[in-house]
Homo-oligomer: A and B are copies of this chain.
Amino acid sequence: MPSDRRRLRLHDTIRREILDTAWEQTAANGAAALSLRAIARQMGLTAPALYRYYPDRDALVTALIVDAFTSFGQALLQAREAVPQQEYAARLVAVGRAYREWALAYPQRYALIFGTPIPGYVAPTEVTLPPAANGLRVLIEILDDAWRAGSLPLPENPLSAELQARIEDWRSQVGSTALPYAHYLALAIWSRVHGLASLELYGQFPPSLSDPGEIYERELSDILRQAGLNR
The A interface is mostly helix, strand or loop, or mixed, namely helix
Which B residues are CB-close (under 8 A) to A120? 29, 33
**The residue from B173, B194, B206 contacting A198, defined by CB atoms under 8 A apart:** B194
Contact of A208 with B by CB under 8 A: yes
Q: In whole angstroms, what is the CA distance A111 to B198 when docked?
A: 12
Which B residues are CB-close (under 8 A) to A174? 206
B214 touches A163 (CB 8 A): yes
Query: Least Cβ distance of A12 to chain B in Å?
Result: 30
* Stretch from A13-21, A50-58, A183-191 at the B interface: A183-191
**Contacts A191-B199, A192-B195, A199-B191 given: A117-B215 contact, CB under 8 Å?**
no
B206 touches A119 (CB 8 A): no
Q: How many residues of A contact B (CB 8 A)?
A: 55
Contact of A31 with B by CB under 8 A: yes
Which B residues are CB-close (under 8 A) to A33? 32, 119-120
Contact of A79 with B by CB under 8 A: no
Residue of B nearest to A211 (CB): B166
Chain A positions 187 through 225: 1 when the CB is less than 8 Å from some CB of chain B, otherwise 0: 110111111101100101111110010110011011001
Query: Least Cβ distance of A193 to chain B in Å?
Result: 7
**Contacts A116-B116, A194-B199, A219-B188 given: A206-B173 contact, CB under 8 Å?**
yes
Q: In whole angstroms, what is the CA distance A50 to B208 when docked?
A: 38
Instruction: Identify 12 residue pairs between A and B in the complex whose beta-carbon atoms are under 8 Å apart, listed by A's number.
Output: A30-B119, A32-B119, A33-B119, A114-B204, A116-B202, A163-B215, A170-B207, A187-B206, A188-B222, A191-B195, A194-B199, A222-B226
Q: A31-B116, A184-B215 are in contact. List 12 more A-B contacts (CB 8 A).
A: A30-B119, A33-B119, A115-B115, A163-B214, A167-B208, A173-B206, A174-B206, A187-B215, A188-B215, A188-B218, A192-B192, A194-B199
